[in-house]
Amino acid sequence: MRSTTSPGMFLGAFRRTHEFRLLIATVGLIAILSVSSRRFLTLQNGLDLLTSYAFSGMLAAGLLVVLVSGGIDISFTAIASVAQYVALVAVMHLHGGWLMLFAIGLGIGTALGMLNAVLISTLRISSIIVSIAMLNVYFGLLMFLSHGNQLFNMPDWFLNAFSWVLWTDSEQNPYVLNAQIIGLFVCFALSWLLLNRTSIGRQIYALGGNAEAAARVGYNAWRLNLVVYGYMGFIAGLASLAQAQLAQSVAPNVLVGRELNVLAAVVLGGASLTGGQGTVLGAILGVAVLACMENGLILLGVSSYWTQFFDGAVILVAVSTIAWERRRQRAAMRRVIAAPAGAAVARQG
Amino acid sequence: MSPVRRIPLVSATNRVLLVLFAGLVLLFGTVIGTPLFRLGTLRAMALQVPQLGLLSLAMMIALLSGGLDLSIIAVADFSALVSAFLLTNIPADPGGLGILLQVLCLLAGLLVAATIGAINGVIIAYLDVSPILTTLGTMTMIKGLSVGLTHGGVISGFPPLVLFLGNANLLGVPVPLVILLLVAWPVAVMLNRSPFGNLIAMIGSNIAAVRYSGVDTRWVLIRIYVLSGLLAGLAGIIMMARFNSANAAYGESFLLVTVLAAVLGGVDPSGGFGKVSGLLIALAILQLISTGFNLLGLSEFLTLTIWGVTLVSIAGLGVLRQRLPSRRRAISPGQTSSGPISPRAER
């Protein structure tokens, strides 16, 4: 298993990672865009970008954990739709408050995520198939029961929540720190803590790196799956509430369909579909590259109809370089193994 | 791992599926009565199945080889758009030359589809990128190309030949269904009896073993994705003919459903096992549920739910059948329940 690389500590090692190349690409992209568009590198544009990509970013933080564990989840957009819809309907009808909103939204998210985990563990079919099936189940039920009706007229305390004006500039433009940006940072912080600062996080890496070995060591795959998919559901619930607050309305069918975009961002960040690989920094950069590029293209005057084309090109280039790099690493590893033991130690040392 | 010892997702799949199909016919037949068996209903079903059917075949080929092809819908729409663009820009000629030109337009669409499939195959085979990620990339890019070129608009107004493909009857059978069967049959024969079909299944079981036995796996992979692309392109042409228009976003909701249909039909998502006959029965089941619910006035979205539940229950049934009769479940080391596609999906 490759361990995560923490920047600062091993700058030499970090320089050879995918994250480093991605960081260079991101900085380069930002530099080019800043030179060619005066509106790009402004605080306002930065805050706007953070706000509009918060939902995808939060989900990316959750999906990263699932990918590290060696699984995959496609159903999180449906879970998010169910969580936000039920939570807001309940709050509106029962005149509840924040506590109720979060309890229901996060509770439903976690519960549905755990249901995925139970099915994946007991049915012994791959997580992608279970999550595709459950995406249809959750989304179909929600659309059936809600008749596709949108929710408006949400309580004022929800609509006006969390916007702290950082300061106002000379032209009276407020710079606002809002719920979405806070949620984005919270989610990435949670994923980082879970993966790097808890025993469970290390077990998740172990499970994804080699499930058989992890089982032999005595890690409980069943319980780990419960944590991983439950966490994904929890994040989906949180992200859905932030998204509803931003949109100021809830439509049951706007979130489903975005799942592959989130997957693309996480994979762009270097997470492997076979598990055991992927870092929070990578996921952040993966989202950042796509966000900056999409935003930059629009600022440069490229029609937004072409956004997706460039997204696809970036994804293809990224997954190809990652695969190329991994193949080189494997070849190097084989050389080390093939060489006599002394030479291998000397080479590594 | 020898194929004989492998436990397929559902044992004796076709039998279970046929029983399920018969049960559903009985259930819906009792609840709905004669409207279910009216000629109009059957015709509507026969018109709806082929698009999903061809797309599911395209997905199935990739699944059999242990991969996945997320780009099928994007390829279908793009090649339909190419054909549509050509069809609406050729000189109108009612004679034989016109027909020839129109056929060439359709073939051009298929050629585009095959080319994109070849690109997928080359990236997967030579750059060692996992099929999911490769096709996720090409899906996004090709869809982006369609949206960018058409600005999300529709191309419509086709000659009679195209409308014939989409809506006419041959001996009382809708042409799209005829096309599906005409395609499914050779594909089935190819998968079961040809060396190429054998190679697909072997690659899905253990690609390293195939490579070490002297097979050019890269060339086989490219052919797999070309075939997948071709089937998707054909589905695109059928969709275009059915709707008398082409658009960058037709059939998008089918993408994940094709995986459901293939897996429900007994295709092992980790590769190697699956039959076209199983897929066709699964399609009939899905369509029957959809039509039945429609006649009962239930939401189309409830159909999605039932489709998902059906898949999970069939899989659950498989697990139960393994556990109940004998306790000696063969647990293969690589078979972890949480792997996304298969341990070796990303080589």
B interface test, pick of A63, A119, A120, A136 with most B CB neighbours within 10 Å: A136
Residue B122 and residue B233 in contact, taking contact as beta carbons nearer than 8 Å: no
Asked if B128's CB is within 8 angstroms of A323's CB, the reply is: yes
At B336 the pLDDT is 42
At B337 the pLDDT is 41
**Contacts A–B by Cβ distance under 8 A:** 209
- Does residue A336 sit within a domain? no
**Closest residue of chain B to A74, computed from CA coordinates:** B256
CA A118 to chain CA centroid, Å, is 22
| Minimum-distance CB partner of B123 among A133, A313, A320 | A320
Give A 234-263 residues with CB within 8 A of chain B.
Answer: 257, 260, 263
Distance between CA atoms of A14 and A30, rounded to whole angstroms? 21
At A340 the pLDDT is 62
Establish if A272 touches chain B: CB-CB under 8 angstroms.
yes
* B61: Cβ contacts below 8 Å, ≥ 6 apart: B69, B187, B191, B200, B224, B227, B228, B231
DSSP summary character for residue A163: E
At A126 the pLDDT is 84
Instruction: Look up tokens 């957009």; give the residue.
Output: A77
- Does residue A158 sit within a domain? yes
Query: What band does A333 get if pLDDT is binned at 50, 70 and 90?
Result: confident
CA distance B234 to chain A (A): 23
At A165 the pLDDT is 74
**Closest residue of chain A to B68, computed from CA coordinates:** A128
CA A269 → CA A22, A290, A311, B228, distances in Å? 7, 10, 14, 28
A interface test, pick of B337, B341, B342, B344 with most A CB neighbours within 10 Å: B337
B interface test, pick of A63, A65, A128, A210 with most B CB neighbours within 10 Å: A128
CB < 8 Å to A211, chain B: 336, 338-339
> What is this model's ipTM?
0.83
CB < 8 Å to A309, chain B: 140-141, 144-145, 147-148
CA distance A240 to chain B (A): 21
- Does residue A315 sit within a domain? no
Taking chain B (347 residues) in consecutive chunks of 10 residues, what is each chunk's mean pLDDT?
Answer: 48 79 89 82 87 94 92 95 91 78 93 97 92 93 94 88 84 89 93 90 88 90 96 94 89 86 86 86 92 88 89 81 58 43 38
For A291-322, letters b (16+ CB in 10 Å) and e give: bbbbbbbeeeeeeebbbbbbbbbbbbebbbbb
Mean pLDDT of the A317-337 span: 86
Residue B272 and residue B7 in contact, taking contact as beta carbons nearer than 8 Å: no
- Does residue A326 sit within a domain? no
- Does residue A345 sit within a domain? no
Partners of residue A168 on adjacent β-strands: A174
At A342 the pLDDT is 52
Instruction: Indicate the burial class of B94 (C-beta count within 10 angstroms; 0-12, 13-18, 19 or more).
Output: exposed
Query: What band does A309 get if pLDDT is binned at 50, 70 and 90?
Result: very high
- Does residue A228 sit within a domain? yes
Kindly tell me if the per-residue pLDDT of A36 is higher than 50.
yes
CB < 8 Å to B147, chain A: 305-306, 308-309
CA distance B120 to chain A (A): 10
CB < 8 Å to A135, chain B: 256, 308
**Domain housing A192:** 11-302
Nearest residue to A121 via CA among B63, B10, B262, B339: B339
Asked if B259's CB is within 8 angstroms of A140's CB, the reply is: no
Asked if B308's CB is within 8 angstroms of A140's CB, the reply is: yes
For the stretch A128-175, pLDDT in tens is: 889 989 999 999 999 999 998 999 888 888 888 777 777 777 777 778
- Does residue A264 sit within a domain? yes
Asked if B148's CB is within 8 angstroms of A309's CB, the reply is: yes
Domains defined along chain B, listed by start: 13-320 (1.10.3470)
At B329 the pLDDT is 45
Q: What is the dihedral of CA B227, B229, B233, B236, to 10 degrees?
A: 130
At B205 the pLDDT is 87
Write out the DSSP string of A19-72.
Answer: HHHHHHHHHHHHHHHHHH-TTTTSHHHHHHHHHHTHHHHHHHHHHHHHHHTT--
* B50: Cβ contacts below 8 Å, ≥ 6 apart: B174, B176, B177, B179, B180, B235, B238
Distance between CA atoms of A294 and A313, rounded to whole angstroms? 12
- For residues B336 and A187, the model is more confident at A187
The CATH number that applies at residue A40 is 1.10.3470
Q: What is the dihedral of CA B311, B315, B316, B321, to 10 degrees?
A: 140
Q: For helices B131-150 and A307-338, what crossing angle results, to 10°?
A: 160
Asked if A127's CB is within 8 angstroms of B338's CB, the reply is: yes
What total number of domains does chain A contain? 1
What residue type is A325 in one-letter code? E
For chain B, where are the alpha helices, taking DSSP H only? 13-32, 39-64, 72-87, 96-126, 131-150, 160-167, 175-193, 195-205, 207-212, 217-243, 254-264, 276-295, 300-323
**Closest residue of chain B to A123, computed from CA coordinates:** B316
- Does residue A332 sit within a domain? no
Kindly tell me if the per-residue pLDDT of A104 is higher than 80.
yes
| Minimum-distance CB partner of B151 among A125, A127, A305 | A305
Establish if A311 touches chain B: CB-CB under 8 angstroms.
yes
CA distance B186 to chain A (A): 27
Q: What percent of chain A has pLDDT over 90?
A: 54
Query: What band does A341 get if pLDDT is binned at 50, 70 and 90?
Result: low
CA atoms within 13 A on the CB side of B314: 33
